[in-house]
Amino acid sequence: MDKLIITAAVTGSGPTRDDNPNIPYSPKEIADEIVRSYEAGASIAHVHVRDPKTGEPSFELEYFHEVKDRVRDRCDILLNFTSSAMHLPLDNNTMERRLAPTTLGPELCTLDIASMNMRSRVFINPPEWGPYCANITRERGVKPELECFDTGHIGLSKKLIAEGLLDKPYLFQLCMGVDSQIEATSKNLLFIVDLLPSKDAVWTGMGIGRDEFPIIAVSMINGGHVRVGFEDNVYLSKGVLAKSNAELVEKAVRLAKEFGREIAQPDDARKILRIEHKIKTT
């Protein structure tokens, strides 16, 4: 098996300080959480930004820029910027705005492959979004991570592959347990993994809330990679709030060691994903 890539999704757009007082809001707080997660064993950071005062989801480019600069001054973790339009107005500029963060030079960005109900709204990802995102990110040297919340999303991803719009290896994020999408069970995870391309597929498993650690355990022992963090779960264990994303990463590292999976460093993740090293640290 490859070394285990751990992704830290440090803030997301949903959890607030009412859920856990340690949720980071400002670019500095988000960057600090990313660096702590790197020190704990994460090799990829999945990045959303917030309004620093209110904690509301934001898509301000200056916040992404500040997070990037603060992180890259301190470590070489891979940055995966969200391209989610869940909190953006839908207009003629939406798709362009979704990809604005990729102009800042992250290694990766998310590509949500299909529309779906999510929480109290519809998460719109129209048919033209996938090819548009794939083309633009290829031009910018950014690798898209295919966000798959249900089985049909694998088929849509394979269509992009068949059309030659994605470069090997194909990176899949298997998102389990989101309301109205595939349930987070070990049986479902193995079923959806079986639908992936038989060659050149790299996949990460994640579960929401109490399903976070059961799902990543199944991922680890079946050759997948894992994602943890406040975006998905704010508890370290039942009834115990995590003090930081790093605590969640540390727990994932402990599980990996029990299963005999060596932890990937950022350069290991670059090798697995065939991503050029864009930055130098001193």
| Beta carbons of 228 and 5 less than 8 angstroms apart | no
For 101-146, write each residue's pLDDT tens digit: 999 999 999 999 999 988 778 899 999 999 999 999 999 999 999 9
**Chain-centre distance for alpha carbon 147:** 8
What does the pLDDT read at residue 179?
86
Between the alpha carbon of residue 133 and those of residues 28, 65, 200, the distances in Å are 28, 20, 20
What does the pLDDT read at residue 281?
43
User: Residue type for 232, please?
Assistant: D
**pTM score of the predicted model:** 0.96
Instruction: Indicate the pairing of strand 170-176 with strand 201-207.
Output: parallel
What does the pLDDT read at residue 279?
55
Query: At 228, phi and psi to the nearest 5?
Result: -135, 170
Dist. CA 28–CA 160, nearest whole Å: 36
What does the pLDDT read at residue 92?
78
Q: What is the number of other CB atoms lying within 10 angstroms of the CB of residue 21?
A: 10
Looking at 3.30.70.1280, 3.40.50.2300, 3.20.20.70, 3.10.20.740, the CATH number of the domain 6-273 comes to 3.20.20.70
What does the pLDDT read at residue 102?
98
Domain ranges of the chain: 6-273
What does the pLDDT read at residue 90?
78
pLDDT beneath 70, residues of the chain: 278-282
What does the pLDDT read at residue 280?
53
What does the pLDDT read at residue 120?
79
**Tokens standing for 194?**
């079986």
| Beta carbons of 226 and 216 less than 8 angstroms apart | yes
What does the pLDDT read at residue 197?
97
Helix (H) or strand (E) holding 225: strand 225-228
